[in-house]
Amino acid sequence: MLFTKRPKYSRFDYTPRFYNPETDEEEKRKKRLGFRSARKSKRKVAPPYLMLLILIIVVLLILKLEGAF
């Protein structure tokens, strides 16, 4: 009897408190057209020390392959 009992799921009827249909349509249109906020569109740039490390490794590999090192 313990394993045959099915759970009863609660249904919630949630209505947003501050719903504005005009702004909802505006957001849908922006999403459809592909607009992004300026904060989200910034590219992430690698730190300068990481770029320097990669450059040093590439130079050392080139020197190693040429036989000078």
**Residue 59: its pLDDT value, please?**
93
Give the span between the Cα atoms of 58 and 64, in whole angstroms. 10
Say what the pTM is.
0.35
Give the span between the Cα atoms of 57 and 67, in whole angstroms. 15
- Yes or no: say if 44 and 50 are a contact pair by the CB < 8 Å rule: no
**Residue 10: its pLDDT value, please?**
81
**Residue 58: its pLDDT value, please?**
95
Give the percent of the chain with pLDDT over 70. Answer: 78
> If pLDDT is split at 50, 70 and 90, which confidence band does 1 have?
low
3-state secondary structure of 1: coil
* pLDDT tens string 2-27: 577 777 778 878 776 777 778 788 88
What residues contact residue 69 under an 8 Å CB cut-off, 6+ apart? 60, 63
